[in-house]
Chain A
Amino acid sequence: MKLLTCPLNGPRNISEFTYGGEYHPMPDPNKTDPRQWAEHVFFHDNEAGIVTEWWCHSASSFWFLAERNTITDQVIRTFEASELFNQRVDFAAESGDNS
Chain B
Amino acid sequence: MTHVNSSQPAMQNQRRSPLYRRHTELKAEFESLGDASLVSRYGELAAEIESAAQLGLADLSALPRIGFKGAGAPQWAISQGIKLPESPNHSVVQDDGALVGKLSHQELLILSDLAGSSALVNSLEPVQIESLKQSEPAAQTYHLPRAHSHSCLAVTGTAAAEMFSKVCGVDLRSHKFAQGQIAQTSLAKINAVIVRHDLAETPCFYVLSDISTVEFLWDCLLDAMQEYAGVPVGVAALRSLAARG
Contacts and interface: CB of A to CB of B under 8 A. Distances in A.
Q: Are A and B co-members of a single complex?
A: yes
Contact of A8 (B89, B169, B186, B191): B89
Contacts of B103: 60
Contact of A15 (B89, B104, B186): B186
Contacts of A13: 169, 186
B186 A60 contact: no
Contacts of B170: 12
B184 interface: yes
Interface in A1-21: 8-9, 12-13, 15-16
A62 B104 contact: yes
Interface residues of B, number: 13
A58 interface: yes
A8 B104 contact: yes
A8 B170 CA distance: 14
Given A57-B184, A58-B191, A59-B184, 5 more contacts: A8-B89, A9-B184, A59-B191, A60-B103, A62-B184
24 contacts: A8-B88, A8-B89, A8-B104, A8-B184, A9-B89, A9-B183, A9-B184, A9-B185, A12-B169, A12-B170, A12-B185, A15-B186, A16-B169, A16-B185, A57-B184, A58-B186, A58-B191, A59-B186, A59-B191, A59-B193, A60-B104, A60-B184, A60-B193, A62-B104
- The 7 A-B pairs at the shortest CB distance, nearest first, are namely A60-B184, A59-B191, A59-B184, A13-B169, A59-B185, A16-B186, A9-B184
